[in-house]
Every structure is written in C-alpha cells, then in structure tokens.
C-alpha cells in the first residue's frame, strides 16, 4: 500500500533531514544514542548522510550490484563531530539524493536489496529511514517525536510490507519461530480519525507472515498514539511503557518484538 506519492517521498527525504538538522545546530554530538547502541549523535548522522550518498550513487549509475557501504557502517572515525560542519554536509547529501531520484523517475531499474528493482523502493525506504533516524536523534536529545499522519501511516505500511517478505526468513531465520496457531497481533492508533484506518492486524497462524489494515480481534492488541506505535515496531520505544495499552497475550507481543526487524 502506498499512502504517499513518489514526489512526496523525494520531498520527505529533504524535509526530514532539515528537521533533523534544526535539532542539532547547538547540540553536543557526543551524546549517546540509546536507540542505536554504540553510536553517539555525530556517528548516527554520519551513518544517515553516508546512506544518502550510497543510494544516490546506486540511482545515478543504475547500479546492478551494491557499491561498498563500509564508509557509513564503520563509524569509529566520527566520535567528535562539529554541528557547523556536519549540518551542511547532511543537507547536501539529502538534496542530492532527492534530485537524483526525481531525475530518474519511480520506474528506473537498478539493484535493490529486496524485490522491486526500481527507484521507487529507494525513495520510499530513505524517506522513512531519514524519519526514523530523526526520531533516534530527537529521543537522544530528550525531545518529543512527532510526525505527519500520512507519513507515519506510510512508514507503518512499509515496515509491515518489508517485515512480511518471504525473504526475511532467509535473512533472519529466527522469524520462523513466530509462526504458530492462534498467534495474531493488532495495533490501533488512538489519535487518528476513523477514515485514517490506522489499525493493523498481523497474522502469524500460517506458513507466512500476513498483514492487513483492519479492525479485528487478536490474541494481543496494542493501543497508542500513531507516532508511538511506529516507534514501537521499530523497537525504539518499549512496549511496557505508559505510552501503550496492551490487551491479551502480552507475552506474544514480547516474543514478536524480540524477533522482528528487517534491517
């Protein structure tokens, strides 16, 4: 399901980067990022900016194989960053990526890490990658994470789509342990109007993971703000916090959260 247009994905890469940059202008970039253990804030931003540049190269060259990503995986050299240097660098990479994606168009063919093989995959993925790492930075600095409703809905749908791909069983064999009779989960956003359809059902009772937007009974149900639910599935916010109401089999929720993830 796509809530946002291709152009909106391109725009959000820049918008979310600008929001992130506004939060770090006077920040101490040596602050630890609890949601990305082992990284400080400067390293997180180098990782994100490196990712922007990595994807920009893939899209620009229509790469058929992934280029090296070591430059944004090994962050040991970025422990003491300067916001005055890092901020403009981060923005430049986001703008370059958005411009390259627009020039390519959504149907341009290239390598992607999962089935799809088009620029649209990277536009959507990095709109939400930028959003979530913006959340990491916000939480590290003690701020409140907020997000546009449509962006959050699309990010949640994308997480569900990627997390339920059959290929995930190959990348993360432990996910197979989730499948079993009676195992269903329901997530319900409490701060959205009915027409937003901000409810998701995950069905683990078959041979594959199946999801849908639906208001249905499940073995365990979680209610909370849309932004908080998004952070929950990304494992940025603990389930057993005051942000959520949990009904039913809380152990199933914990079991699921221990094993989910597509990154």
Residues 27 and 93 in one domain: yes
Would you state the structure tokens that stand for residue 58, as one six-digit string?
A: 């893939």
User: What 8-state DSSP symbol labels residue 67?
Assistant: P
CB of 231 within 8 A of CB of 145? yes
Residues 29 and 96 in one domain: yes
Residues 122 and 206 in one domain: no
Residue 220 lies in a domain: yes
Residues 129 and 182 in one domain: no
Residue 157 lies in a domain: no
Residues 174 and 226 in one domain: yes
Residue 159 lies in a domain: no
Residues 16 and 65 in one domain: yes
Residue 152 lies in a domain: no
Range of the domain at 48: 6-145
Strand order in the sheet with 199-203: 210-213, 199-203, 184-189, 220-224, 245-248
Looking up residue 26, the CATH number of its domain turns out to be 1.20.120.450
The residue from 145, 177, 208 where one domain ends is 145
Residues 194 and 136 in one domain: no
Give the count of domains, the chain: 2
User: What 8-state DSSP symbol labels residue 65?
Assistant: S
CB of 5 within 8 A of CB of 86? no
Whether the full predicted model's pTM is greater than 0.75, yes or no, is: yes
How, if at all, do strands 199-203 and 184-189 pair? antiparallel
Residue 238 lies in a domain: yes
Integer-rounded Cα radius of gyration of the chain: 18
Q: What is the pLDDT along the chain (263 residues), one digit of tens a residue?
A: 688 999 999 999 999 999 999 999 889 999 999 999 999 999 999 999 999 999 999 999 999 999 998 888 889 999 999 999 999 999 999 999 999 999 999 999 999 999 889 999 999 999 999 999 999 999 999 999 999 999 999 999 999 999 999 988 888 888 999 999 999 999 999 999 999 999 999 999 999 999 999 999 999 999 999 999 999 999 999 999 999 999 999 999 999 999 986 55
Residue 59 lies in a domain: yes
Residue 43 lies in a domain: yes
Residues 134 and 43 in one domain: yes
Spatial CA neighbour of 118 closest among 129, 104, 132, 131: 104
Residues 137 and 201 in one domain: no
The residue from 113, 145, 177 where one domain ends is 145
Residues 106 and 171 in one domain: no
Residues 138 and 252 in one domain: no
Residues 89 and 189 in one domain: no
Hey, how many other C-beta atoms are within 10 angstroms of the C-beta on 74? 12
Please tell me the distance from the alpha carbon of residue 191 to that of residue 223, in angstroms, as a whole number: 10
CB of 175 within 8 A of CB of 207? no
Looking up residue 200, the CATH number of its domain turns out to be 3.30.1050.10
Q: Which pLDDT does position 170 carry in this prediction?
A: 86
Q: Which pLDDT does position 25 carry in this prediction?
A: 87
């Amino acid at each position: 399901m796509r809530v946002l247009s291709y152009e909106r994905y391109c725009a959000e890469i820049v918008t979310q980067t600008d929001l992130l940059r506004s939060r770090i202008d006077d920040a101490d970039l040596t602050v630890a990022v609890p949601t990305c253990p082992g990284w400080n804030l400067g390293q997180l931003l180098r990782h994100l900016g490196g990712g922007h540049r990595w994807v920009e190269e893939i899209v620009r060259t229509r790469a058929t194989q992934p280029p090296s990503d070591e430059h944004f995986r090994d962050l040991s050299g970025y422990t003491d960053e300067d916001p005055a240097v890092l901020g403009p660098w981060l923005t430049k990479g986001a703008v370059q990526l958005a411009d390259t994606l627009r020039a390519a168009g959504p149907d341009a063919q290239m390598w992607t890490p999962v089935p799809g093989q088009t620029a649209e995959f990277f536009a959507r993925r990095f709109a939400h990658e930028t959003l979530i790492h913006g959340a990491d930075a916000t939480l590290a600095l003690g701020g409140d994470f907020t997000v546009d409703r449509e962006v959050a809905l699309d990010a949640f749908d994308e997480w569900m789509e990627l997390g339920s791909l059959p290929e995930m069983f190959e990348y993360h064999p432990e996910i197979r342990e989730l499948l079993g009779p009676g195992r269903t989960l329901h997530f319900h956003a409490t701060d959205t109007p009915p027409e937003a359809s901000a409810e998701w059902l995950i069905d683990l009772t078959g041979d594959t993971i199946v999801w849908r937007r639906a208001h249905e009974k499940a073995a365990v149900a979680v209610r909370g703000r849309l932004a908080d639910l998004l952070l929950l599935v990304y494992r940025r916010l603990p389930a057993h916090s005051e942000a959520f109401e949990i009904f039913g089999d809380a152990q199933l929720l914990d079991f699921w959260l221990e094993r989910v993830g597509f990154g």
